[in-house]
Chains A and B, each alone.
Chain A
Amino acid sequence: MTYSRKWFVPTLYILFLMLPIYGLIAMSFKTTGEILGGFSFFPQNFTLANYKVIFTDPTWYNGYINSIIYVVINTVISVSVALPAAYAFSRYRFLGDKHLFFWLLTNRMAPPAVFALPFFQLYSAIGLFDTHLAVALAHCLFNIPLAVWILEGFMSGIPKELDETAYLDGYSFSRFFVRIFIPTIAAGIGVTMFFCFMYSWVELLLAKTLTSVAAKPIAATMTRTASSSGYELGLLAAAGSLTIIPGAIVIYFVRNYIAKGFALGRV
């Protein structure tokens, strides 16, 4: 194949990938009537009304705020718990360390639905139901093991002599950990945060089960397809388009390191 043709296959592939996203975005600028009326590639009556509803109606925009709150809480908890755990796995040998490490992974094998019922009962009993913290904690179930796995890979890439040199140079463990070690694996922490963010952001079942009104996530809001005013497909499309944005922003910041996370086989 000549050089000039090489672009053809990737372009086709990218078009194929972009098509549904384009469809979603195009739909978000149409009225519901136009969407139900038939297929059109470009919006016939371009409208921003759908977005206006989302940004003005609290039942919509609160969904985003709720989601962002519990996702951020979850990411912070996951990473701060996983940092010392991953350090222990990468630096020390202790009884059953390898089994424990593998067991962490098995936590990811169970579908979250399995845990929905016990979580619901537990959180109702202790008064956490319908709070952001409830969802954030529930998501730790799969995010902490993931974070430990990713971080352990990055940490094992740092020779243990770095720790030893810092002690020799007069640092205590805690100062070393905060001042030297964390900056050194900053890329790993970024990748980890991205994956925690991502998994928590897209998870629907637990988030929906554990909330009713006060902490209702956007994904749950989007599951109502019809309201008193009939179908609101345009609105849904706009909500969907907006849901993609946070992930896109986060991935932009870690784009250079993400391949390393994959290369370590930890993602």
Chain B
Amino acid sequence: MATIRFKNVQHAYPPPKGQDPVYALKEVSQVWEDGSAYALLGPSGCGKTTLLNIISGLLTPSEGKVYFDDQDVTDLPTSDRQIAQVFQFPVVYDTMTVFDNLAFPLRNRGTDEATVKKRVHQIAEMLDLTANLKKKASGLTADGKQKISLGRGLVRSDVNAILFDEPLTVIDPHLKWQLRSKLKELHQQIGVTMIYVTHDQVEALTFANKVVVMYDGAVVQVGTPVELFNKPKHTFVGYFIGSPGMNFLPCKIDRGQPVFHNNILATSHPVSDDLNGRTVVGVRPEFVEFADDGIPVVIEKIEDLGRYQVVTVKHESEVIKMVVNEDQRIPAESPKIHFNPDQIRIYCDDWLVEGGDNE
């Protein structure tokens, strides 16, 4: 067990001939605290897997250092790092039985056979694999094989971290829930650092106590699910987390207050006037409501999702989405909307501008 630290880690894959290298990972400095459950969230191609492979040593970063506690492991081979990793697609040793597959990581580290047996049975029990232990791994279905991969990742209790690279992609939806809660349960039991890569926000928010949002090769925000929802540090986080994502409207700043198409949006956190860059105001659809007095809009579309309705409205050419409770009345004539002043965020060049009078 160890705290994993990244110090200015960057990684570029070898470029095609005659082109500049493209950085898959741009300068990440990040501490992964021992025993936490992290979710690494971001769209495909944002560098999540690269980051994971740097932790496990499958990739050596082009620049920067990786430390486990105080030891520099940047050049340490994978086999000496004591990391378990589960990949997106099942990887099993076809020539071995399920039992031998699960026992493999333990036996390689010289664990005695009695302990191996005990651990393998525990893990098999947890993953519903007990009935298959004696079978050849090659005969199993895709989910069966993926369960073996998961089991092999979880079987050692002395690892520095367990990394999951979208491990539940090939698993049936109902089993997904079950396995995810089992992973969480296991995390609480053994308290080993877990890093879980996903592009599914629900998966990330339910699994982790800390979510790391990545965008275009950089970590844009680390926080609890609540922090990510209430105070996205970057427009991408606002857009990516939440369904529907945050509304972003172009604005000017006048005496600390954002002005959107000549409508002053009162905010409880005024900002400084001299922001250099493109400023936008961001507000979650949950914090937009119909009001008697406010910005006049035209209703474009109402989607009824059962529990709530998503209303799409338009002011000038700007589209605003709002979440409205089922029982709430939607005004038929000249609707006006109002933004909750506590929940208005201002972004300059995509980064959050901290207001003066913040909570």
Contacts and interface: CB of A to CB of B under 8 A. Distances in A.
Interface of A: 93, 159, 161-162, 164-165, 167-172, 180, 183-184, 186
A172 B57 CA distance: 13
B95 interface: yes
B79 A167 contact: yes
A184 B108 contact: no
B329 to A, nearest CB: 55
B85 A165 contact: yes
A118 to B, nearest CB: 35
Contacts of B57: 167
A184 B108 CA distance: 19
A187 to B, nearest CB: 10
B87 interface: yes
Given A161-B87, A164-B78, A169 B95 contact: no
Contacts, number: 53
Interface in B25-71: 53, 56-58
Contacts of A168: 56, 78-79, 83-85, 105
Contacts of A172: 77, 79
B174 interface: no
B79 A159 contact: no
Interface in B6-23: 14
Given A161-B91, A183-B95, A184-B94, A170 B108 contact: yes
Contacts of A159: 87, 89, 91
A171 B53 CA distance: 17
Interface of B: 14, 53, 56-58, 77-79, 83-85, 87, 89, 91, 93-95, 104-105, 108-109, 149, 152
Contact of B95 (A161, A164, A184): A184
Contact of B77 (A165, A167, A183, A186): A167
11 contacts: A93-B14, A162-B93, A164-B58, A165-B87, A165-B152, A167-B58, A169-B104, A170-B109, A171-B108, A180-B93, A184-B93
Contacts of A184: 93-95
6 closest A-B pairs by beta carbon, nearest first, are A170-B108, A167-B78, A169-B105, A161-B87, A183-B95, A161-B91
A169 B102 CA distance: 10
Contact of A169 (B14, B58, B87, B108): B108
Contacts of B89: 159, 161
A185 to B, nearest CB: 10
A93 B15 CA distance: 11
B206 to A, nearest CB: 25
A169 B53 CA distance: 14
A162 B58 CA distance: 12
Given A172-B79, A180-B95, A184-B94, 6 more contacts: A162-B91, A165-B91, A168-B56, A169-B104, A170-B109, A186-B95
